Amino acid sequence: MASVVNLVDWFEGLFDDLTTGVRSGVMWSLDRAEPPLTVHVQPADRPTLSLRLNADATVELRAFAAEIQGLLSPLLGVALPSCPAHGAVLDVVEAPVGSVSWRCREADFSCAVGDYKEALWPPGPDEPAENLAPLLGHHLKRRGVMRGVASWSVRHDDGALVGNIDLRPGADEAAVVEAAYPVRLNVSRIAPVTTARFEEPATEKEPAKRVLTTLNAAMHLALLRGTLRRALPDERCDVIVESHGSRIHVRLLPEHRLGAPREPLLFDHLGLPFADDGDEVACTGGFGPTSRIEGDVGVFAAGQITVYERPTSE
C-alpha cells in the first residue's frame, strides 16, 4: 500500500507523464489525500471529469492510470504518453515489483509511472528550445542536485546542448555537471543568500518599522499583512499570519532563524530578537504551488518580513 505522501506524488507523476508535450493545459485535484478519493480532471476548456479511486493497491492504480489515459488521449488528440521509438501510445502494466509502469507493445521501451520525462533524457535535436530548460530542471531535481542552483538556461548550439547555470555556495558543482550530461554547462558562482536588518522611521501614513530582508534572493512580488502568530505543532509551516479573519501559513527562507518554543518567533542575522507573537507584520513573497488537495490552505513563502512598531503612549 502506498503512503499518503507517496500516493499524492504518484498522481503528480501520472499527470506529468500524461501531459508531456501537450500545449493545452490539464488541471486536476483530489478531494482528499487518501482513498477512497475522487480525482477531478479538467482538460483544457472541456468539462471536468470525476473519477473514483477506492484503494491504492497496484491493480487499482493500474486501472485508474489506464482509465485517465483512455479519456485524455482522444480529448487532446495525441497519444499520452507515446513510445519514443514508434510514436504509439504506451500500455499501462503492473511491474514485477508491485508498481505501475508504461510499456511499449514492441518491448522497446518501458518506465515507471512518473519517470517518463526522465526516461526520455537527454533531449533530442528536434526538442523545441522552450522545452530544454524545464527538462533540465526536472532532470536535476530527480537526481537530487538542485541545492544551491539559482538559475539555468539551455540552448542548441551547432548540434550540441549547451547550458548556463548559476550556483550558490554549497552547491555541488561536480554533481550538477555530471547529472546534466550531455548538456555542457557553463558554470557561474554567485553570492549566497543572506539576511539584513534595517530600521525605518514613522511617516504620516505608517508607524516606525524594522525590516528583515534577504539579499541576493529572488524578487518578491506579493505582500501579506496581518498579525504574526506562532504556528501550532500540526500546522506545516514556520509561522502564521492572521489576515482578514484567515490564518495564512507562512514559510520563511532557510536563511531566517526561527526561535525555539519559549523564545521570540524570529531572530535577525546577529542573533537579536526581531519578531514575536502578536506583532503587526508585512511579509513579502508569494504563494507557492497550489495544493492538489481541495480545501488545503495555501502556503505563503516569505523572504522579507517587516514589523510595525506599536505606538508609544504619550
pLDDT tens across 241-290, in order?
999 988 999 999 889 999 999 999 999 999 999 999 999 999 999 887 77
3-state DSSP percent of the chain in helix, strand and coil, to 5: 20, 35, 45
Highest mean pLDDT among 14-28, 94-108, 125-139 belongs to: 125-139
What H or E segment, with its residue span, contains residue 7?
A: helix 4-18
What is d(CA 155, CA 220) in angstroms, rounded to the nearest whole number? Answer: 28
First to last CA, the chain: 65
The interaxial angle of helices 4-18 and 58-76, nearest 10 deg, is 30
3 pLDDT exceeds 60?
no
* Confidence band of 172 (pLDDT split at 50, 70, 90): very high
Provide the whole-model pTM.
Answer: 0.74
Question: Cα separations (Å) of 28 from 8, 39, 146, 291, 293?
Answer: 12, 7, 26, 10, 10
24 or 236: which leads in pLDDT: 236
What is d(CA 61, CA 52) in angstroms, rounded to the nearest whole number? Answer: 11
314 pLDDT exceeds 50?
no
* Confidence band of 5 (pLDDT split at 50, 70, 90): very low
All three cell numbers of 185: 554547462
Question: What is the pLDDT at residue 220?
Answer: 64
* Nearest Cα residue to 64 out of 97, 28, 88, 96: 28
* Nearest Cα residue to 62 out of 108, 93, 16, 23: 93
All three cell numbers of 122: 537527454
Question: What is the pLDDT at residue 108?
Answer: 81
Question: Cα separations (Å) of 192 from 118, 144, 150, 218, 255?
Answer: 30, 20, 10, 12, 10
Contact between residue 74 and residue 82 where contact means Cβ atoms under 8 Å apart: no
- Mean pLDDT, rounded, for 89-115: 87
- Mean pLDDT, rounded, for 143-149: 93
Question: Cα separations (Å) of 86 from 74, 77, 105, 109, 248?
Answer: 18, 17, 10, 10, 49
**CATH 3.30.300 in the chain, residue ranges:** 129-189
Tell me, which fold does domain 129-189 have in CATH?
GMP Synthetase; Chain A, domain 3 (3.30.300)
What is d(CA 70, CA 18) in angstroms, rounded to the nearest whole number? Answer: 11
* Confidence band of 201 (pLDDT split at 50, 70, 90): very high
Question: What is the pLDDT at residue 4?
Answer: 39
Question: What is the pLDDT at residue 2?
Answer: 45
- Mean pLDDT, rounded, for 187-197: 95
E strands within the chain? 26-30, 37-43, 49-53, 91-94, 100-103, 110-112, 149-157, 160-167, 184-189, 194-200, 209-215, 222-230, 239-243, 246-252, 257-258, 266-267, 273-275, 280-287, 299-308
Residues of the chain above pLDDT 90, percent = 60
209 pLDDT exceeds 90?
yes
Question: What is the pLDDT at residue 312?
Answer: 62
User: What is residue 78's DSSP assignment?
Assistant: S
> In the predicted model, what is the mean pLDDT of the chain?
89
296 pLDDT exceeds 90?
no
Which region holds residue 114: left if phi is over 0, alpha if psi is between -120 and 50, else beta?
left
313 pLDDT exceeds 90?
no
* Confidence band of 106 (pLDDT split at 50, 70, 90): confident
